[in-house]
Chain A
Amino acid sequence: MLRLEHLVRRFGAVTAVGGLSLEVRRGEVLGLLGPNGAGKSTTLAMAIGLLEPDSGRVAYDGLGSPRSASVRARIGYAPQSLALYDELTGLENLRFFARLQGIRNVRDRVDAALDRVQLTPRAGDRVRTYSGGMQRRLNLAVALLNDPEFLLLDEPTAGVDPQSRNNILELVRSLADEGRTIVYTTHYMEEAARICHRIAVMDHGRILDVGTLGELIARHGGATALVVERGEVHERKLVADPVRELAAVLSGGGVTGVRVEPPDLETVFLSLTGRSLRD
């Protein structure tokens, strides 16, 4: 279990994270969802030990600080940027990071990581020749080298094609099924809805709410929208009981189409964080 307790981190006058508390259970994928500047990456940086919180603490299963080598050896981290060496091959990148992790059976672990992200055929090519999706998968493979109990993934699908995204999402879910504890930050609602057991919505350095998708929708999703089409006219209204309302609409005349729009994560997100632009 990973526990973040009352984390506070300021950069000058700006409070990036202000009193954040969160608990990630074993074998769970916890989605950290928030607009730009919400404090997601800062939270991850404190969780991995890159940043020292001004106050609060990070605890891994009752272990020590994430700054200690023994704790770090149990954490896998995929940063948002493609943290790879372009002029090295995929294989060389993995071997280098494996040695850095102090892994003994480098060859086996590197082969296993390559296999998991399906890059074995291109392992001998330099990274600069990889597509964006391949680079993202390699970026994730580096995080898997030490067979980590905890995985911190910072927007691991940013800028990839649908095939690579699907591959990464399936991989993340399978990693959780193996009992790993995963924190997953993303902008993409459908990703969070698809793979996260629970989702934490954060903004302005605070957790606004945490729960399963269903719980969040129940709490913040609001009513279902019913869209009724009569020729060129589209009428959209929020309804408490969509089934009864639908029956009533259909009993009337002139209806050319009907669409039911149940609340989703995006509705929850906008409800919690507002609709103002974040630049």
Chain B
Amino acid sequence: MRATLAIVRKDLTLLVRDRGNAFFTFGFPLLIAIFFGTIFGGSGDRAKLPIVVVDESGGKVSAAFLEDLAADPLISVERGETREAGENRVRRGSALACVVIPPDFEAKADRLLSGASLELVAVVDPARKAEGALLSGKLNEVAFRQLGRIFTDPERLAASLEEARTLVRNAAGISAVDRLRFEALFTALESLGRRFAVERPPEGSPVPPPSGMQAWSPIHIDLQTVAAGGKQPANAYSVTFPQGMAWGMMSCVLAFASSLADERRRGTLRRLAVAPIRRWQILLGKSLACVMTGMAIVTLLAVVASVGFSVRIGSFAALAVAGLSSSICFAGIMMLLAGIFRTEGGAQGAGRAAILVLAMIGGGSIQIIFMPRFMQVISVFSPFSTTIYAVEGAIWRGFGPGEMAWPCAILVAIGVACFAVGATLFRRVEV
């Protein structure tokens, strides 16, 4: 054990003395956590979704639709002359989408009570599907608001009802009783329209904000964040610091995986191999150093988050378990890389590639919700996402022992499996 601890101490000293490795292991994750925490939780204005709208209708309804769209705090509207010009903006990436209001938009708006639907065309940047989905929701919301405008405009309501009456009158297969029922409904709607009628502003004056019936919406959503035992994240740093911890552990993997290759190149591994200790003691020493570095990363970031950024740690014990499980997992990955790749370049390159893949699978690059189903299943076993999940469980998700057990067990299992394979490969290496 003394020899193993000597290896741990030596490796930790070497890590700290190598400024580059020390920075990317401890400093960089801290900067990531603070930087993104500040961005997502800061007081600055959020960027709006930039869209180009081409109004081929040119009517009153489309004008109102455009007014409502432009008033939305999440959307930045720019008028486009032609659909082709709008699509060009999307292709170049300067706009998220080109929304086309077709020529029959006005006519369909007048037939809303007759079963017609407002139709829009939205050409979206395929690389920004998540924002496209958000835009789709916003377009629905604004379109729905146009229904309210019909009830507050007596002329439009009358025209719509006349259209509907004609439809019922000419429809075959409707009984006389049903026709009377429809007529009663239309009359009631006319009466309702007169009651909610809004005085039209003089020509050329700005459209007042919707009020009364105009502002009516069939559903109001009170969006709240999950609060487990009153321990919802205190701020954005509660989310970004766990991510910083995961990135730090990945940097730690890079540093230690290449250190084994470095020892082989220098010949120090040969010296370790001829010492009166077992080969597994060398590997255990390296892995313990990696685990301890992982724990140091978790501790450092937790202290900074807690003291400097008001992050409330739900359970220190659970955080310790999550940190230890994650560290074991990443130490195992380190050993696997060291076992497979015999040179520093190989270990570094493979380490970077592994980090990229693990981060992508874990939702670090593409959001998990937009992945194919099988990738979503795989992502459950991504050390990146599982580490974040476990750490969040300890910090603000309020996980109990049972809930903590699963992600931690997955992490330890991945670590042990990778260690076993890596150690087997490494034992075959001629030093």
Residue positions of A touching B, CB distance < 8 A: 48-51, 69-70, 72-73, 75, 77, 79-85, 87-88, 92, 96-97, 99-102, 142
Q: Which residues of chain B in 388-431 are interfacial with respect to chain A, using CB atoms and an 8 Å cutoff? A: 430-431
- Could you tell me if A88 and B267 are in contact, using CB atoms closer than 8 angstroms? no
Chain B residue numbers with a CB within 8 Å of A79 are 267, 270-271
Most buried by B among A87, A99, A101: A99
A88 to B6, CA, bound (A): 13
Q: Which residues of chain B in 246-281 are interfacial with respect to chain A, using CB atoms and an 8 Å cutoff? A: 266-268, 270-278
A70 to B17, CA, bound (A): 34
Partner of A83 from B5, B18, B267 at Cβ < 8 Å: B267
Closest CB in chain A relative to B27 CB, distance in Å: 18
- Could you tell me if A81 and B267 are in contact, using CB atoms closer than 8 angstroms? yes
Chain B residue numbers with a CB within 8 Å of A88 are 10, 13-14, 17
- Could you tell me if B266 and A96 are in contact, using CB atoms closer than 8 angstroms? no
- Could you tell me if B266 and A81 are in contact, using CB atoms closer than 8 angstroms? yes
- Could you tell me if A77 and B277 are in contact, using CB atoms closer than 8 angstroms? no
- Could you tell me if A85 and B268 are in contact, using CB atoms closer than 8 angstroms? yes
A83 to B5, CA, bound (A): 20
- Could you tell me if B274 and A49 are in contact, using CB atoms closer than 8 angstroms? yes
A100 to B9, CA, bound (A): 12
A72 to B17, CA, bound (A): 31
Closest CB in chain A relative to B269 CB, distance in Å: 8
A23 to B277, CA, bound (A): 27
Task: Please give 5 more A-B residue pairs, beta carbons under 8 A apart, in addition to A81-B266, A87-B18.
Answer: A49-B274, A73-B276, A82-B267, A85-B266, A88-B10
Q: Which residues of chain B in 272-312 are interfacial with respect to chain A, using CB atoms and an 8 Å cutoff? A: 272-278
A85-B10 contact, Cβ under 8 Å, with A79-B267, A99-B2: yes
- Could you tell me if B266 and A100 are in contact, using CB atoms closer than 8 angstroms? no
Partner of A84 from B13, B18, B266 at Cβ < 8 Å: B266
- Could you tell me if A92 and B267 are in contact, using CB atoms closer than 8 angstroms? no
- Could you tell me if B17 and A87 are in contact, using CB atoms closer than 8 angstroms? yes
* Nearest neighbor of B431 in chain A, beta-carbon distance: A50
A77-B13 contact, Cβ under 8 Å, with A50-B431, A100-B6, A100-B7: no
Closest CB in chain A relative to B133 CB, distance in Å: 51
Q: Is B3 an interface residue (CB 8 A)?
A: yes
Interface contacts (Cβ under 8 Å), in number, total 71
A81 to B262, CA, bound (A): 13
Partner of A97 from B18, B270, B275, B278 at Cβ < 8 Å: B275
- Could you tell me if B271 and A77 are in contact, using CB atoms closer than 8 angstroms? yes
A87 to B22, CA, bound (A): 13
Closest CB in chain A relative to B266 CB, distance in Å: 6
- Could you tell me if A50 and B274 are in contact, using CB atoms closer than 8 angstroms? yes
Chain A residue numbers with a CB within 8 Å of B276 are 69-70, 72-73, 101-102
Partner of A48 from B9, B17, B274 at Cβ < 8 Å: B274
A84-B268 contact, Cβ under 8 Å, with A50-B431, A100-B3: yes
Chain B residue numbers with a CB within 8 Å of A101 are 275-276
15 A-B pairs, CB-CB below 8 angstroms?
A: A51-B430, A69-B277, A70-B276, A72-B276, A75-B274, A84-B268, A85-B266, A85-B268, A87-B18, A88-B10, A88-B17, A92-B13, A100-B272, A102-B2, A102-B277
A100-B270 contact, Cβ under 8 Å, with A85-B14, A87-B17, A88-B10: no
Chain B residue numbers with a CB within 8 Å of A96 are 6, 9-10
- Could you tell me if A83 and B271 are in contact, using CB atoms closer than 8 angstroms? yes
A83-B268 contact, Cβ under 8 Å, with A99-B6, A100-B7: yes
* Nearest neighbor of A73 in chain B, beta-carbon distance: B276
Chain B residue numbers with a CB within 8 Å of A51 are 430
Closest CB in chain B relative to A29 CB, distance in Å: 20
A49 to B279, CA, bound (A): 13
A87-B273 contact, Cβ under 8 Å, with A51-B430, A99-B3, A100-B7: no
A75 to B274, CA, bound (A): 9
A275 to B370, CA, bound (A): 71
Closest CB in chain B relative to A26 CB, distance in Å: 21
A72-B275 contact, Cβ under 8 Å, with A100-B6, A102-B3: yes
A178 to B271, CA, bound (A): 24
Chain B residue numbers with a CB within 8 Å of A99 are 2-3, 5-6
Chain A residue numbers with a CB within 8 Å of B9 are 96
Chain A residue numbers with a CB within 8 Å of B5 are 99
Closest CB in chain A relative to B208 CB, distance in Å: 72
